[in-house]
Amino acid sequence: MSNPKVPHRLQYENSPIDAVDSRILAALDADSRLSMSELARLVGMSAPAVSERVRRLEAGGVIRGFTLDVDARALGYQIRALVRIRPLPGKLHVVEKLIQDTPQFIECDKITGDDPFLARLVVHSIEEMDDVLEALSDYAVTSTAVIKGTSVARRLPPL
């Protein structure tokens, strides 16, 4: 079970993070550009100490990276949609590559069930959406649900 070449379990799974790490994660999730000194003030520790904790959270795989929250709408992508994609028989890999090569798909998960892929799409217009889906139509059946709003904005898993 514990084949070291196949780490199905990552470091922190068995040594749960403590309260300080939780506060660090929450603070950095809200603003990943916080200075280590400011973060240190927030959690009541010295800067080198929190800096070392952040480093360990990265090394342990908890923090996969520091990233950006970009508003697609502000870039003119006025329509967001979630697209379920069911490749025709034998077309699974072709379809996956096509999704990956279509930059308007900004995210795609492989899932169980009738439709192997669920992808997040951003487009400027209905016409652009039609172009993207049309390009898939020879290889897959798609079901598109336009996003009307957000009930839960991306948030951390419970810590």
Positions in the binding site for a copy of itself (CB under 8 A): 10-13, 16-17, 25, 28-33, 60-78, 81-82, 96, 99-100, 103-113, 115, 117-119, 122, 143, 145-159
Residue window 54-73: x/- pattern of binding to DNA, with contact defined by CB under 7 A: --x-----------------
> Of these partners, a copy of itself, DNA, none, which one is at the site of residue 130 (CB under 5 to 8 Å by kind)?
none
Cα distances from 45 to residues 31, 36, 134, in angstroms, run: 18, 10, 56
CA distance 74 to 118: 24
Residue 88 site contact among DNA, a copy of itself, none (CB < 5 to 8 Å, cut-off depends on kind): none
If phi > 0 it is left, if psi is from -120 to 50 it is alpha, else beta; for residue 90 that is left
DSSP per-residue letters across 27-43: HHHH-TT--HHHHHHHH
| Contact of 50 with 24, CB cutoff 8 Å | yes
Binding partner selected for residue 100 from a copy of itself, DNA, none, CB under the kind-specific 5 to 8 Å limit: a copy of itself
Q: Is 2 exposed, middle or buried (0-12, 13-18, 19+ CB in 10 A)?
A: exposed
Per-residue x/- marks for DNA, 22-61, CB under 7 A?
A: -------------xxxx------xxxxx-xxx--x-----
For the chain, give the number of residues.
159
Nearest approach, Cβ of residue 46 and a copy of itself (Å): 19
Nearer to DNA, 33 or 93 (CB): 33
